[in-house]
Amino acid sequence: DAAALVARRDRSLAEVQEHYYDAPPRIERGWREHLVGTDGRVFLDMVNNVTPLGHGHPKLADAVSRQLRRLNTNSRFNYGAVVEFSERLASLAPDPLDTVFLVNSGSEAVDLALRVALAATGRRDVVGVLEAYHGWTYGSDAVSTSIADNPNALATRPDWVHAVDAPNPFRGVHRGADAARYAPEAAARIQGLAASGRPPAAFIAETFFGNAGGIPLPDGYLAEVYAAVRESGGLAIADEVQAGYGRLGHWFWGFEQQGVVPDVVAVAKAAGNGYPLGAVITSREIAARFRSQGYFFSSTGGSPASSVAGLAVLDAFRDERLQENAAEVGGHLRRRLEELATRHPLIGAVHGLGLYLGVEFVRDHATLEPATEETAAVCDRLLELGIVMQPTGDHQNVLKTKPPLCLDRASADFFVDTLDRVLTEGW
């Protein structure tokens, strides 16, 4: 049963290997936005940003299984699908982003993006933002400042990482109208580093403030900070691991929403719909400067099977209109959640774009005191009622609302109706 599996898991996997819930249900399979437990219970998956196509997608499964029977080996071989996936991914990016490196995950993509920037500039310092999560590898972990993910993140940050304030207009040092100060302050930090003889190789940020609770960046934020880092001779790195691939609905890339084009883009998660696949997209000229590092090669990054998965995902995005669905159903979901917020004072705000929403719980609308315990309790009650949901943000007081992009209206309504019931009845 589920408890026995947790006990075995605790003995065999590292203690810190994270899992959802203290007593997680034992999940056996899934279809679309639904998960099925070994006891036959069905759950609505409202949190899974790794599977935009949904679970158990037949065309993706068939394509990968056909490829595994035919050939799966490293991307050093001259294999058609590897080239075709790279071409199609590059064609989705604006000029001059036309060159792709293939990896397995978001952490690797961010790590490689940092190495590309360091190699291209011959510098070692990097500017990031507070409350960010970028991955678990040495470099991506170094620029991850979220204390929700790692309470020691700030204390253990290496000296080459510099972090500016989280540009969160809802909560933080420049809340509200003062949010206009975030970009000038970040630009001043970059200029200060340059003046002190340590100009940064790069500025790295998510293009949408994901791990802080699904909060859009203030208008013009990236344009101003990108201009400052380029002015000082550094590069702009966009972490699109969560915001990219249509998650924001009207925009395929999160940076489009800010009206900017980065120099280096890190992609993963959605790219393989759960099959390991990540990429770095940059310009030919910047990629060429990586030659000082020798060759780039990842044994399984962009393997034929991963590339075929990547192609099947892009086909599904086109054929199943997933991005349009994220805009439509995301808009519907948001409107319904905003209506809920007028009746339930626990909801301090509904953040987000497309199907990347954050429902922030507060104890007091003036002080914004985070309702952390309430958020955990609501998530537990939602699970009992058949919905998988997790808290996010530095205060763990935001419902991380990131379902598969195939979410239909009936599922969106089931989520809102169930949340309404929990907030009405208590948890």
The least distance separating ligand PMP from the CB of residue 141, rounded to whole angstroms, comes to 10
CB of 196 to ligand PMP, least distance (A): 29
Please, which residue, 381 or 400, has the CB nearer to ligand PMP?
400
Nearest approach in angstroms of CB 388 to ligand PMP is 16
Instruction: Give, in order, the Cα–Cα distances in Å from 198 to each of 129, 159, 191, 201, 250.
Output: 18, 11, 10, 9, 38
Distance CA 284, CA 281 (A): 9
Q: How far apart are CA 154 and CA 151, in angstroms?
A: 8
Torsion of CA 226, 256, 310, 100, to 10 degrees: -30
213 binds ligand PMP (CB under 6 A): no
- Cβ distance 275 to 64 under 8 Å? yes
Q: Using the 8-state DSSP alphabet, how is residue 31 labeled?
A: E
Pick 24 or 274: Cβ nearer ligand PMP: 274
By CB under 6 A, name the one of 102, 268, 308, 399 that touches ligand PMP: 268
User: Is 301 a residue that touches ligand PMP (CB under 6 A)?
Assistant: no
Which of 194/355 has CB closer to ligand PMP?
355
Specify the residue for token string 């719909």: 273
Per-position x/- string for 76-115, each x denoting binding to ligand PMP as judged by CB under 6 A, each - no binding: -----------------------------xxx--x-----
Cβ–Cβ < 8 Å for 239, 165: no
Q: Which residue lies nearer to ligand PMP by CB, 277 or 327?
A: 277
Q: How far is the CB of 381 from ligand PMP (least distance, A)?
A: 25
Shortest CB 137 distance to ligand PMP, Å: 8
Q: Which two tokens stand for residue 413?
A: 């309504």
The reply on whether position 242 binds ligand PMP by CB under 6 A is yes
**Cβ neighbours of residue 331 under 8 Å, at least 6 residues apart?**
249
Report the 10 Å Cβ neighbour count for 235: 27
- Which pair of tokens denotes residue 341? 């917020």
Q: How far is the CB of 176 from ligand PMP (least distance, A)?
A: 25
CA-CA distance, 94 to 359, in Å (whole number)? Answer: 32
Quick check: 253 binds ligand PMP (CB under 6 A)?
no
Number of residues that bind ligand PMP (CB under 6 A): 14
Q: Rank residues 199 and 244 by Cβ distance to ligand PMP and give the closer one.
A: 244
Q: Which residue is nearest to ligand PMP (CB)?
A: 106
Kindly report the backbone phi and psi dihedral angles of residue 332, in degrees, each rounded to the nearest multiple of 5, phi listed first: -60, -45
CB of 50 to ligand PMP, least distance (A): 8
User: Rule CB under 6 A: is residue 239 a binding residue for ligand PMP?
Assistant: yes
- Using CA atoms, how far residue 306 sits from 234, 265, 362, 379, in Å, is 32, 19, 42, 34
Nearer to ligand PMP, 270 or 382 (CB): 270
Pick the binder of ligand PMP from 54, 135, 169, 199 (CB under 6 A): 135
On whether the CB atoms of residues 400 and 355 are closer than 8 A, the answer is: no
Beta carbon of residue 251, minimum distance to ligand PMP (angstroms, whole number): 16
- Could you say whether residue 33 binds ligand PMP (CB under 6 A)? no
Q: What share of the chain is helix, strand, coil (3-state, %, to 5)?
A: 40, 15, 40
Q: Is 244 in the site for ligand PMP (CB under 6 A)?
A: no
Q: Tell me if 212 contacts ligand PMP by CB under 6 A.
A: no
Binding-site ranges for ligand PMP (CB under 6 A): 105-107, 110, 133-135, 206, 210, 239, 241-242, 268-269
